[in-house]
């Protein structure tokens, strides 16, 4: 019986290593991305998943935002899949 359990120890060890080095960091990254997307506001500079840099003009609903990518060029982007990252938030002017 002990030899049977002993054979599974390396498999369990590999799973623990995978969890702490691959699965857990990925879950943390997904959670941070979701929080960033939920906190988008007008004036934020963002990078789309296509690599286009633009400024959030308005939040259409919980799913979409309107991003200005050039003068008089605005596109609607799905927040969860289309926004890759936040470049910076606008400074608060006094």
Model pLDDT for residues 20-34, shown as the tens digit of each residue: 898 999 999 999 999
**Cβ(58)–Cβ(44) under 8 Å?**
no
In a domain, 30, yes or no: yes
- pLDDT above 60 for 94: no
In a domain, 34, yes or no: yes
In a domain, 46, yes or no: yes
| Whole-structure pTM value | 0.69
In a domain, 92, yes or no: no
For residue range 43-91, list pLDDT tens digits in order.
999 999 999 999 999 999 889 999 999 999 999 999 989 999 998 755 5
In a domain, 94, yes or no: no
Number of domains in the chain: 1
In a domain, 47, yes or no: yes
Domain range holding 23? 3-86
In order, the DSSP letters of 11-79 are HHHHHHHHIIIIIHHHHHHHHHHHHHHHT--TT-EEEETTS-EEEEEEE-SSSEEEEEEETTEEEEEEH
Q: What is the pLDDT of residue 91?
A: 53
């Amino acid at each position: 019986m002990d030899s049977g359990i002993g054979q599974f120890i390396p498999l369990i060890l590999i799973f623990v290593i995978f969890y702490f080095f691959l699965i857990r960091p990925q879950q943390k990254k997904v959670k941070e991305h979701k929080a960033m997307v939920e906190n988008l506001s007008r004036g934020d500079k963002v990078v789309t998943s296509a690599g286009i840099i633009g400024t959030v003009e308005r939040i259409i609903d919980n799913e979409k935002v309107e991003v200005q990518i050039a003068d008089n060029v605005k596109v609607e982007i799905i927040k969860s899949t289309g926004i890759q990252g936040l470049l910076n938030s606008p400074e608060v002017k006094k």
